[in-house]
Amino acid sequence: MHIGIAGVGLVGRVLALNLLSQGHTLTLFDEDNAYGDKPAGMTAAGMLAVFAELESAESIIFDHGQRSITLWPDLLEQVGIPEAYQQKGSIITAHPQDYKELDHFIETLKRKVKEASEIQLLDRRELTQLEPDLEQHAKAFFIPQEGQVDAQRFMKASSDYLLSHANVTWHEETKVDAVEEEGIIVDGKLHTFDWIFDARGLGANEQVKDLRGVRGEVLWLDAPEVKITRPTRMLHPRYKIYIVPRPNDRYIIGATEIESEDKSPVSVRSSLELLSAVYSMHSGFAEARIVNMVTNCRPTLRDNLPNIEQNNKLTRINGLYRHGYLLAPAIVEKALNEGISKM
């Protein structure tokens, strides 16, 4: 089939990779260029936090998350970067005054899914065996099943792959006016296809009811004095912060969560909170260099859950909120099984 996809962010790319594997021909439209930073998928830390996200999410997130974790390695292999996938568990810790909160957090996860019984309590010695650089923490939990995708590498490698694929036409810097059952409308002109996907994230807000943006801010630090190797969360009564290690001593520190569609630069308050939290976690961050500060908005529906809408030969996928990397492969698989693959 000849398929049109509006929006080549995270969902659009995962869709494109799946559809190419099935032998289809694709025409892609995005208002950004192929290497631009508009997609939320370009800002994300790429954590695959199947358990840690459960505290404030439904168990459906857990089921789709577990499925996605099995699908990511093949997607990354397809675009030539299998090493951009890491699954060696994650750490959650807190300051001593917040240990009660930490215990409560883990108890909540255990009440939600039985698999959370595999979460391990670590004392200082056990933690130091896993992560020698976290020796100042006397207590933590280890979640063996969690992992991460190097989001920025995935975005770049998928652009390279799609741009060089013979069955792909990518209209960059091309804003879509609307996506209808009849086709994709650009500059008032209708482009028709055998099947259409709307994967515009927040850009679909005129056509997807109750879609809102949730602002998130992240900092990129280069910290040669810090050697943390796994995604690590610090539980704090006012904010949840995480440190996600990337190659070459780089760490992504995130993320704020603010009910606003404001994509303006990172605020002083957010940067102070994020930076003081990482410094309190490891004093080696004192001499880190701030190499980037990024803001974006998570496309979010009223119930904070993802949604697939099928109408004849049009499929809309949206609302991946703070779980895009965790959910996209499984949600796309579900959408294809319920829609185009039935044909």
Ligand X SMILES: Cc1cc2nc3c(=O)[nH]c(=O)nc-3n(C[C@H](O)[C@H](O)[C@H](O)COP(=O)(O)OP(=O)(O)OC[C@H]3O[C@@H](n4cnc5c(N)ncnc54)[C@H](O)[C@@H]3O)c2cc1C
**Interaction site with ligand X (CB under 6 A):** 6-12, 29-32, 38-41, 43-47, 175-176, 199-201, 203, 216, 218, 254-255, 296, 298-299, 318, 320-326
Residue 277 Cβ vs ligand X, minimum distance, rounded to whole Å: 15
Is-contact 71 327, C-beta < 8 A? Answer: no
Sheet of 183-186: strand order equals 178-180, 183-186, 189-191
Residue 48 Cβ vs ligand X, minimum distance, rounded to whole Å: 7
Secondary structure of 35-87 in the HEC alphabet? CCCCCHHHHCCCEECCCHHHHHCCHHHHHHHHHHHHHHHHHHHHCCCHHHEEC
Residue 154 Cβ vs ligand X, minimum distance, rounded to whole Å: 11
- 63, with CB counted inside 10 A (0-12, 13-18, 19+), is middle
| C-alpha to C-alpha distance for 253 and 216, rounded to whole angstroms | 11
Residue 51 Cβ vs ligand X, minimum distance, rounded to whole Å: 13
Is-contact 338 72, C-beta < 8 A? Answer: no
Is-contact 232 90, C-beta < 8 A? Answer: yes
DSSP E strands in 301-333: the ranges are: 307-311, 314-318
Residue 126 Cβ vs ligand X, minimum distance, rounded to whole Å: 26
Task: For ligand X, give the closer residue by CB, 282 or 298.
Answer: 298
